[in-house]
Chain A
């Protein structure tokens, strides 16, 4: 059981960080399909940082820097150039996936996976053995519940959170009390950038110490699904992301259990299938997307 929980925490943590980034963007009115791209940039930045500087702290800073840069580009394209969010988000994902491959090849001369000598500090290394079997997890896993709580406070219990939400839900309402929706989206995307960097770092350097091409394998999109499934509430989205991770862990369990009886691709695909059902279920729960009436003329202002 313990190892099961460890496996779940391992796969859930990166998802949750990225999901929170999606939540705050969604609140601000941005469908953030660039999560996948930012996540892999975070992963790549962390490993490159460790390899090139030999310091985890610098590596994390580097990852944050790149993700924030990506977020600024995204914000600029969406807010200033008025591009379609979905297209721009997918573009950002493409940029992240391609850009990281290019960066690895430019630095090391080969697109092969990059190995780092060490990863993120483990819980055991920092706090000693007080967490027992969980000591092998990275400190970002330990930090995760606090970040979730912090995001919940920020979004649901501060004025800034209300202003961000208002900017997404009814920009005109925000504008008419003197809040600049565009600036709120900037803030939301910057916070999201940092969260994506952490998610990517945990993915590449949490339990592994490696960066490989396309290693996010759709986790960014899965996070986005968790945002929708969780009704863009930080806690709800965290639960949704955990649910996907649990299904993934069960899939691996099932592989060990059934061996060759069940096609292994099907089991690997379980989290993705769960994602689709999750979205369908949440749409059912909320009675589908309702047309917003009465604000038509004001929406875009």
Chain B
């Protein structure tokens, strides 16, 4: 065991209960000073709760904590911040209408009256010192996520933080910005800050962390373990528990597509869209997807992937070009007509576009059926409830009853509800947009498995992801988008260098 004065943070028997549910149970852990510690676990393992307890946002129902060998009362953010503990949230906690300077000021600084100029100048200095490239007069809502994150980290470092917790910082970042974040984290370590990273992806853990701590079901499975000498398999075994290897092993199975190649499910011919506020316009994109084929879309976010989805779904105005589904021209069809022809979408934002969080599960689930019926068709709640119940059971969704609000499900379960709705027998073309974003390995594996199964059943799948590893694993073919154009098409074996170069528009 390490000497206690080398530990910046220790806690003993921390328990957090929400009603009858234990979010954390008897967690005792100590973090060594000046290192990068990773905390991993599946969704619902209590990682975020743990981070919030440490930051003083949640008062534990039992247990004690010490920071720098001083006891810290639970549930007191001010005390925690005074002790040098700062938390950077997963969905950033910055008021969107504030300017960067205001967002810095409201949580720190003095209570004095300021002028806009002096405030701007004061915080710009701080941002420059940390090499955060942002103007302090910009509004939070206008910043890309990675900049928001950098701002929040800068905010956390105002008060000379000694102990910084980042709650799933990579969940919202693209691979390139993740690397930048890691560079920043390493710099922080150099300057003597102890960093805790709550992470999802094992690769990232092994990339950056000095030690790893594993939570499972609210319990501590592994207290800080030196990262040297552990590999992916071992780590995932700890995270998932039993039969982890089995799950992971499936990830490369069956990536050969069935021999019987059929006609194109989707045939897009020189499609151009009219530019609007939501993203890059498509510029002369032609693309076919055969039945029983998974086409992966790679590209840095914001290069037209979203617009492609919206174009196929009739949610953007076309300039020219045609879209055929199963040989039928559907360029002029409405979204609902397209759906009834077999188009299915697993959308980018599962809680906003995919589900109505304030509606029940059965309503969310049966909407597919009603969307394909006339406007004034009757709703049959009793039937729908039963159908939904058996439908969701088949997909192994964890829920208490079908009248439960969709918003009460965890990320993985919410995604499963969408999958079970969108991947029915009539699905011809499935668009899976970032289907695994923010999911833990168990749920991710489930999504991959389902997509493969749909492929084997003859659906064509358009798979969009910002995670290249994932795209490589699952796709039969990869296309690359850059500034609204299709700039490359690759068949296996995939070469990460070629695809990476295509993504940034570099010539090899």
Which residues of A come within 8 Å of B, CB atoms?
Answer: 153, 157-160, 162-163, 165-166, 169-170, 172-179, 291-298
Contact = CB atoms under 8 A, between A and B. Distances in A.
Contacts of B357: 296
B493 interface: no
B352 A291 contact: yes
Given A157-B113, A159-B106, 8 more contacts: A157-B114, A162-B105, A165-B95, A169-B95, A176-B89, A177-B107, A177-B108, A178-B56
A175 B59 CA distance: 13
Nearest to A157: B113
A295 B78 CA distance: 23
B105 A153 contact: no
Contacts of A158: 111-114
Interface string B103-120: 001111111111110000
Contact of A176 (B93, B98, B109): B93
A158 B112 CA distance: 6
A153 B116 CA distance: 11
* Prevailing SS type, chain A contact patch: helix
Given A173-B94, A293-B349, A162 B106 contact: yes
B30 interface: no
A159 B111 contact: yes
Contacts of A163: 106
A170 B95 contact: yes
A153 B115 CA distance: 9
State which size class the interface on B falls in. 35 or more
A298 B92 CA distance: 10
Interface string B339-367: 00000000001011000010000000000
Given A162-B105, A162-B106, A170-B95, A178 B111 contact: no
A177 B77 contact: yes
A297 to B, nearest CB: 7
A295 B105 contact: no
A178 B94 CA distance: 13
Interface string B9-49: 00000000000000000000000000000000000000000
B98 A296 contact: no
B73 interface: no
Contacts of B115: 157
B281 interface: no
Contacts of B390: none
A172 B91 CA distance: 10
A293 B110 CA distance: 31
- 3 A-B pairs closest in CB distance: A177-B107, A162-B106, A178-B77
Interface in B410-460: none
A178 B351 contact: no
Given A157-B113, A159-B110, A298 B93 contact: yes
A12 B251 CA distance: 70
